[in-house]
Amino acid sequence: MAVGKEIRTKISSIKNTQKITRAMEMVAASKMRKTKDRMLATRPYSKKIAKIIKHLAHANPEYKHSFLVKRDVKRVGVIAISSDRGLCGGLNSNLFRKVLTQLKHWDSAGIEVDVCTVGSKAYGFFGGLKKIKVTGHVAKLGDTPHLSDIIGVIKLMLDAYMQGEIDELHLVSNGFVNTMTQHPTIDQLLPIVPSELDEQLSSRHWDYIYEPDAKEVLDHLLTRYVESIVYQGLVENNACEQAARMVAMKSASDNAGNLIKELQLIYNKARQAAITQEISEIVAGAAAV
Amino acid sequence: MTMLVHVDIVSAEKEIFSGLAEMVFAPAELGEVGISPRHAPLITKLNPGEVRVKISSTESYSFFISGGLLEVQPHVVSVLANTAIRAKDIDEAAALEAKMRAEEILADKTSRVDYATAENDLFQAVMQLRTLERFRKRGG
């Protein structure tokens, strides 16, 4: 019976798509578990170093490192982290929307922007924007990024900061809240701002003992700090990507299921109508004889 | 009661140790340091070597770190290690093999290798073995 051939091909094509989205969902789910573990594993280190930096911001060092000193802002640097691939829901577009508002804000204040991008999507986005200079780019880091992969772009930005080419450094990435929610964030990395005042630390005048000397130790520590924060951002963004992809693919599979159900109904109706018509034709023919 | 200080040891990969201790020994760049509670604030770089956490007069833990940073606040000691291993988890065979390999590379002047890397590897392996040796001597 030749009824509803188009509908049948459509149903089978949707079924194929559904198979793909379901497979992607499962792959993303297992990858998410791994990337999440990695994210949680590196968290203690970056938390600890952030805490030390917080202490340091309250100290009164003789040697003022340029990372700790605020300057007039004429040009800012941004390290933007995104995923390499799409098909992960609104993850990247939410992030970029947030960045756009910030960029507008800077633009109206007459501040120029330099960007280093991590991930192909960020490169595609910032590369297409006018007025913005992309100074560095790295992508295709895979699911197990290494610190050495991103040290290049970090160094680029830190050198620019040291030489006074940029006066602030911001990190743009997705923060992992839980599997269902990812939060786009823009954090200021440099200069380091002392966050909420700690009474115990700021009440008296104190400084660290530095061994071997303040400059060397602080240079090392502050570079490590920026590296670890950016690296943490990267692994966190990875976990976000997988989580977002999992959710997006799940809803795609569900939608495909609904679509198939509807089409199946239409197909059945059409087939039934054809049968009824055929019978009534036969009956009418028999009556005529 | 003896005074105690809170000690956190974290490596880039995970949290290694967190708890109270009587004293902490660490291989600072200018020589080994021992930190008691209420030590003045201090920041220093660490060499590869052994970090020892003395919990009580009878109990102590050893860790091997491959370099890092030490921060001291009067009641908190933080060790940021590049990598850290508990002394009893050090694989002696692996360390020995790494030492041999590094020595071989260093001896073979003809091959085009990165001498700095090989030397660093050798140093790491030797320090691991030394940590293990000291750990055994103490009867841990």
Contact between residue A61 and residue A217 where contact means Cβ atoms under 8 Å apart? no
Residues B104-125, mean pLDDT to the nearest whole number:
74
**Nearest residue, CB atoms, A211 vs list B12, B30, B78:** B30
**Nearest residue, CB atoms, A208 vs list B28, B29, B43:** B43
Total domains present in chain A: 1
**Nearest residue, CB atoms, A209 vs list B14, B41, B69:** B41
Cis amide leading into A212 (omega within 30): yes
- CB-CB neighbors (< 8 A) of B32 in chain A: none
A17 within a domain of the structure (yes/no): no
A160 within a domain of the structure (yes/no): yes
Distance in angstroms (rounded) separating the CA atoms of residues A34 and A40: 10
Q: A52, A230, A232: best mutation site toward chain B, by most B Cβ within 10 Å? A: A52
* Residue listed under structure tokens 């055994």: B136
Tokens coding A175: 């923060």
Does the beta carbon of B44 lie under 8 angstroms from any beta carbon of chain A?
Answer: yes
Q: What are phi and psi of A35, to 5 degrees?
A: -65, -30
Does the beta carbon of B30 lie under 8 angstroms from any beta carbon of chain A?
Answer: yes
Distance in angstroms (rounded) separating the CA atoms of residues A93 and B69: 39
Side chain identity, residue B84? A
Dihedral of alpha carbons B71, A216, A221, A147, sign: negative
pLDDT tens digits, one per residue of A110-150: 999 999 999 999 999 998 888 888 999 999 888 888 888 88
pLDDT value at residue A82: 93
- CB-CB neighbors (< 8 A) of B80 in chain A: 45, 48-49, 52, 224
Q: How many CB atoms lie within 10 A of CB B104?
A: 11
B42-54 and A168-176: which strand pairing? unpaired
A263 within a domain of the structure (yes/no): no
pLDDT value at residue A196: 60
- CB-CB neighbors (< 8 A) of A206 in chain B: 41
Asked if the model's pLDDT at residue B125 lies above 90, the reply is no
Task: State whether A55 and B28 contact (CB < 8 Å).
Answer: no
Domain map (residue ranges) of chain B: 5-87, 90-137
Tokens coding A103: 């960029």
* Residue listed under structure tokens 């050090």: B90
* Residue listed under structure tokens 């006018």: A130
pLDDT value at residue A2: 61
The residue range of the domain holding A176 is 26-195+204-246
pLDDT value at residue B79: 92
Which of residues A57 and A104 earns the better pLDDT score?
A104
Q: What are phi and psi of A226, to 5 degrees?
A: -60, -45
pLDDT value at residue A159: 92
What does the DSSP 8-state code read for residue A73? -
Is CATH 3.40.50.2000 the classification given to domain B5-87? no
Q: How many CB atoms lie within 10 A of CB B69?
A: 22
Asked if the model's pLDDT at residue A199 lies above 60, the reply is no
Which of residues A68 and A76 earns the better pLDDT score?
A76
Q: Could you tell me what percent of chain A has a pLDDT over 90?
A: 55
Distance in angstroms (rounded) separating the CA atoms of residues A173 and A233: 6
pLDDT band at A17 (very low <50, low <70, confident <90, very high): very high
Asked if the model's pLDDT at residue B89 lies above 80, the reply is no
Contact between residue B63 and residue B74 where contact means Cβ atoms under 8 Å apart? no
Task: State whether B69 and A224 contact (CB < 8 Å).
Answer: yes
A257 within a domain of the structure (yes/no): no
pLDDT tens digits, one per residue of B29-83: 888 999 999 999 899 999 888 899 999 888 888 888 888 899 998 889 999 988 8
Residue B76: Cβ-neighbour burial (10 angstroms; 0-12, 13-18, 19+)? middle
Distance in angstroms (rounded) separating the CA atoms of residues A208 and A221: 13
Which of residues A242 and A58 earns the better pLDDT score?
A242
The dotted CATH code for B90-137 is 1.20.5
pLDDT value at residue A212: 79
pLDDT tens digits, one per residue of A267-280: 999 999 999 999 99
Which of residues A70 and A257 earns the better pLDDT score?
A257
Query: Which CATH number do you get for residue A37?
Result: 3.40.1380.10
Task: State whether B80 and A51 contact (CB < 8 Å).
Answer: no
pLDDT band at A77 (very low <50, low <70, confident <90, very high): very high
Nearest to A248 by CA among A97, A87, A121, A33: A87
Task: State whether A211 and B41 contact (CB < 8 Å).
Answer: no
Task: State whether A45 and B10 contact (CB < 8 Å).
Answer: yes
A84 within a domain of the structure (yes/no): yes
